[in-house]
Amino acid sequence: MNYQITDSGSAIKFITDAGDKCISKLSIDTITILPLGKIKIAVKGSSGDIILCYRDITTPVYPDAVSLAGAVNSMITNCICPPIPDEPDK
């Protein structure tokens, strides 16, 4: 299955023929490079982790999993996200 990964401001959008999935950048915990050219995007909460092979990504196109992981990480760090409120004093 082919995937597109796009930056939509406060979220990362995963587009496939089967449908789209939007994940808030604030809910993405880590990006890990796995064997066989795969990357794992660990998502906080009940959304579940996303595991993709870099060869299945049609947009953006990168030569390997390391480059793709770096690109997704850049998308996450360039976040137009609402601020997280401070915890109230106890």
Q: Over the stretch 2-16, which tens digit does the pLDDT of each residue have?
A: 889 999 888 999 998
What is the Cα 41 distance to its own chain's centre? Answer: 6
Secondary structure (DSSP) of the chain: --EEEEE-SSEEEEEETTEEEEEEGGGEEEEEEETTTEEEEEESGGG--EEEEGGGEEES--SSHHHHHHHHHHHHHS---PPPPPPPP-
pLDDT at 40: 94
Question: How far is Cα 63 from Cα 90, in angstroms, rounded to an integer?
Answer: 50
pLDDT at 1: 77
pLDDT at 45: 78
**Domains present along the chain, CATH in parentheses:** 3-77 (2.30.29.30)
Residues of the chain scoring pLDDT < 70: 80-90
